[in-house]
Structure formats: structure tokens, C-alpha cells
Amino acid sequence: MSCILLCHFSLRGFNVGMDIHFLFIYNSVQLQKNNAFKVMKMRTRPWTMLLMMMAGWLNRHQQDVIEYLREENKILREKLGTKRIILNDNQRMRLARLGKRIGRKVLSEACSVFSPDTILMWHRKLIASKYDGSGNRKGGKKRITPELEDLIIMFARKNKTWGSRRIKGALKHLGFNICHTTIDKVLKRNGYNPSPDRDRKTLWAEFLRTHWESLAAIDFFTTEIYTWAGLTRYYVLVTIDYATRKVEVVGISHQPNGNWMKQMARNLTDPLSGFLRDKKYLIHDRDPLFTKEFRHILKDSGVKPIRTLPMAPHLNCMIERFVRSIKSECINRMLIFGERHLEYIVTEYMEHYNHERPHQGLDDEMIEPPPQGTGEIVCRERLGGLLKYYRRAA
């Protein structure tokens, strides 16, 4: 005669209670001599009835406690409204441990504050943190210093044909031992191609710096002046030396033409007093006045004319900046009567520009400064005080 006690625990919603069911099987089995089975008999002992009564009372008590806790949780949730509940890591770990025991199905029915996916996600993170060995990892290759990275970028920016291996050689000469693959990564991270033929195209600014001493530029600017014929437009042709910033007025005319331009080309290339006698390149725009004959005279004198792109005044920026200066500082502030008056105004401004005006492109130095004394500060005025120059008297 044998008795097996099977206890079954079921979870309903958030009621983590216990419904204990007792099944009694196999009370007694007796085989008859004639191989016939007799009816199974079940006998109940007194202590089993007592256990069942206590289990029922405990179950009802736990149900009441859980119902109270659920209602309290519901009230607290109503008080919080839509405000998000922020938990720390310790609180998440506690909920994750309990939630894993209950299971997803029961969590979805009982949990009203946090979703089952959230609690199970915390559980997965809890397991991952248990086996996280990142704290025991050894440091990898030491990163290069920001100063060294800036030096690599400077080499790449100022030396367009240098690749990573060429930069490596330059750094080794300076006492930096670094692998060329590291230089490759630095260049790529900063938008540079580590290949030696990174930028075979010559930039306009790079071309200007390379040929600085042999460059000059030329351009027209116009102004309206009062004459006996009424308001007349005059053209002023000026040229500038890129290296020194010195500007010279080539000519003034109210109707320039091809013959006038050819004479201006001869004046510019005069071997004794021409402004372009030591220059190799002359930058100008695509104005039709810069005729084929004008360019031919320049070439015969050893000066190569360079035409800028259409509608690109920034490619002839220095002469354009001068035009802006003379107009804003002088011409646009005066009424000009006749060609001789225009010539006088332009001549006065040229003296001021070349000898008395500091230039930002020259670190606020003057092109050809006059002698400076050690006495008191005096002011020299031109054009009735429109242009002023301060210096120390002798």
C-alpha cells in the first residue's frame, strides 16, 4: 500500500498564492488468485485533512494581502499620473530577480507599472553584468597625443603630395616613432586621403603663394563724374603687385578701346619703368577690353596673362579689394567734376594707399612708409581731411 502526495502551485494574475491540491492514488492493490482486479480502496488519514484546512486558510490570507497590495499600487499609479518612474540599478535588479521567477505570462496580467518586456530586459542585463569581463581587459595600443595628431594634419594640409609614409619619415626626423597605418587612420578621420596623389590639382591659393613674387593683377573700376556733357562714366585701369601690395594707376579714360589698351600694355612692360618689368604673370578677368592684341604684347615681353573663370571675382581678390577700398574711403564720398579732378583724387589716394595706410595683409604695416620721427604726434590730411595719416614729428 503506497501513497504519493503531489502538490501543485498555480499563479493567478499577480496573486502569487498557493492552491494546494491533494491527490491520493493507489490506496491498495491486491491481486486475486484468479488474476481478477478488485476495487481500489482509498483511506484518508486525519493529519491530511488538517493539512488541507491550513492550506486553504493560508491561501485565502495571501489572496487578501495581494489584493490589498495591488489596490495600493493602483492608487499610487493614479497619483503619479503619466510621470515616468526612474529606478536605480539596485531597484531594477530586485525587480528583475522576482520577475524572472513569476514568468512573462503572469507579469503581463499583474504588472501595471512596468511592462513585462522592461522587467525581462532588466533580467537580461543582470545576467550580462554577471559575466561582464570588461573590467579585466587590458588596455590596447596607446593613442597618440592631440599635439601629434595636429602635427600630422598640418603636414598633410601644407604638403599636398605627401602620403602617410612621407609624413612618417618627417615625423621620425622630429623624434616621433609612429606607424604609417596610424597616420592613415588620422588622415581618414580628418577627411584627408592618405594616398600620395591626394590632390594633384593645384589650388588657386596654392598657385598664388608659389608664384607670389612674380604675380601682378590688373582690373578696371568705373565712376560717374560731372562734365560739360553731363554725367559721364569714366574707366580707371589699376594694377597691383601681389608681393608688396603696391598699386599703380595705369590709365584713365571715358572711352577705352583696343588701341588705348595696346598702349597701356606697352607702358606696363616698359623695360625701364614698366610696372610689370620684373613680373612673369598678370591675372585679369574676361573683360572684352583685355583684347587679344593686349595679351600678345604681354607675352612678347615675357609676361604670361592668366584669365580668371567667368563670374569669379574672388579669383582676382586683391585688386577687387583695392577697388572696394578706394570707392568706400574716397570716391563714393565726393562729387567729382571733370577728368582732371578725378585724376587729382585718384593720385592723392594712391599716395595715401602706398605710403600712409596700414594694410592687414601685411600685418598692419605700410607698403612704403615715410620717415618716422620721435617727437609729438601730428596729423597729415589729404582731400580736405577725408584721408588722414598720423605720425611722429622729427
How would you write the pLDDT of the chain (394 residues) with one tens digit per residue? 333 332 333 333 333 333 333 333 333 334 344 444 343 444 446 667 677 767 776 677 667 667 766 767 777 777 676 666 777 777 767 776 766 666 666 666 666 566 666 766 766 777 777 666 666 666 566 778 888 888 888 888 888 778 888 888 888 888 888 888 888 888 888 888 777 664 556 666 667 677 788 899 999 999 999 999 889 999 999 999 998 999 999 999 999 999 999 999 999 999 998 999 989 999 999 999 999 999 999 999 999 999 998 888 788 888 999 999 999 999 999 999 999 999 999 999 999 999 998 888 888 889 998 888 888 888 889 999 899 988 888 7
Report yes or no on 141 lying in a domain: no
The pLDDT of residue 42 is: 43
Report yes or no on 20 lying in a domain: yes
Residue 185 and residue 248 in one domain: no
The pLDDT of residue 305 is: 94
Report yes or no on 136 lying in a domain: no
Domain boundary among 82, 101, 123: 82
The pLDDT of residue 13 is: 35
* Structure-block grid coordinates of residue 83: 510621470
Report yes or no on 33 lying in a domain: yes
- Tell me, what CATH number does 366's domain have? 3.30.420.10
Residue 126 and residue 155 in one domain: no
Residue 256 and residue 388 in one domain: yes
The pLDDT of residue 253 is: 94
Range of the domain at 54: 1-82
Residue 331 and residue 186 in one domain: no
Report yes or no on 139 lying in a domain: no
Residue 278 and residue 186 in one domain: no
Residue 15 and residue 120 in one domain: no
The pLDDT of residue 36 is: 40
Residue 343 and residue 371 in one domain: yes
Three-state helix/strand/coil letters over the chain: CCCCCCCCCCCECCECCCCCCCCCCCCCCCECCCCCECCCCCCCCHHHHHHHHHHHHHHHHHHHHHHHHHHHHHHHHHHHCCCCCCCCHHHHHHHHHHHHHHCHHHHHHHCCCCCHHHHHHHHHHHHHHHCCCHHHCCCCCCCCCHHHHHHHHHHHHHCCCCCHHHHHHHHHHCCCCCCHHHHHHHHHHCCCCCCCCCCCCCCHHHHHHHCHHHEEEEEEEEEEEEECCEEEEEEEEEEEECCCCCEEEEEEECCCCHHHHHHHHHHHCCCCCCCCCCCCEEEECCCCCCCHHHHHHHHHCCCEEEECCCCCHHHHHHHHHHHHHHHHHCHHHCCCECHHHHHHHHHHHHHHHHHCCCEHHHCCECCCCCCCCCCCEEEEEECCCCEEEEEECC
Residue 22 and residue 52 in one domain: yes
The pLDDT of residue 189 is: 86
Name the domain count of the chain. 4
A 10 A CB-CB count for 276 gives 24
Residue 90 and residue 225 in one domain: no
The pLDDT of residue 220 is: 95
Report yes or no on 138 lying in a domain: no
The pLDDT of residue 30 is: 41
Report yes or no on 352 lying in a domain: yes
Residue 330 and residue 258 in one domain: yes
Residue 224 and residue 312 in one domain: yes
Report yes or no on 186 lying in a domain: yes
Residue 256 and residue 385 in one domain: yes
